[in-house]
Structure 1
Amino acid sequence: MSGLSGTEGRERPIVIVGASLGGAKAAEALRAAGYEGGIVLIGEEHERPYERPPLSKGYLLGTEPREKIYVHPPQWYAEQNVTLRLGTAVSAIDPAARTVTLTDDGRIEYAKLLLTTGSVPRRLPVPGADQDGVLYLRRVEDSDRIKEALKSASRLAVIGAGWIGLEVAAAARTAGVEVTVLEAAELPLLRVLGREVSQVFADLHRDHGVDLRFGVQVAELTGDGRTVSGVRLADGTVVDADAVVVGIGISPATALAEAAGLEVDNGIRTDEHLRTSDPDVYAAGDVANAYHPLFATHIRVEHWANALNQPQTAARALLGQPDAVYDRVPYFFSDQYDLGLEYVGYVAPGGYDQVVFRGDPATREFIAFWLSGGRVLAGMNVNVWDVVDPIRQLITSQRAVDPARLADPSVPLTDL
Structure 2
Amino acid sequence: MQRRQIENEINELKQDFRLRTIKTNNNELLNFSSNDYLGILKDEKIFEEFYSNLNFEEYKLSSASSRLIDGSYSIVMSLENEVERIYKKPCLVYNSGFDANSSLIETFFNKESLIITDRLNHASIYDGCINSGAKILRYNHLDTVALERLLEKYSNEYKDILVVTESVYSMDGDIADIEAIVKLKERYSFQLMLDEAHSYGVYGYGIAYNKNLVKDIDFLVIPLGKGGASIGAYVICDEIYKQYLINKSRKFIYSTALPPINNLWNLYILKNMLKFSKKIENMEKLVKFSLNELKRLEIETSSNSHIISIIIGENNATTKLSEVLKQKGYLAYSIKEPTVPKNTARLRISLTANMDEAELKTFFLILKEEISKVKVI
Q: In which range does the TM-score fall when normalised by the shorter chain?
A: 0.3 to 0.5
Which has more helix, going by share of residues?
A: 2
Give TM-score, length-normalised by structure 2: 0.32
Larger RCO, structure (CA 8 Å, separation 6 or more)? 2
Which has more strand, going by share of residues?
A: 1
Give TM-score, length-normalised by structure 1: 0.30
Larger radius of gyration: 1
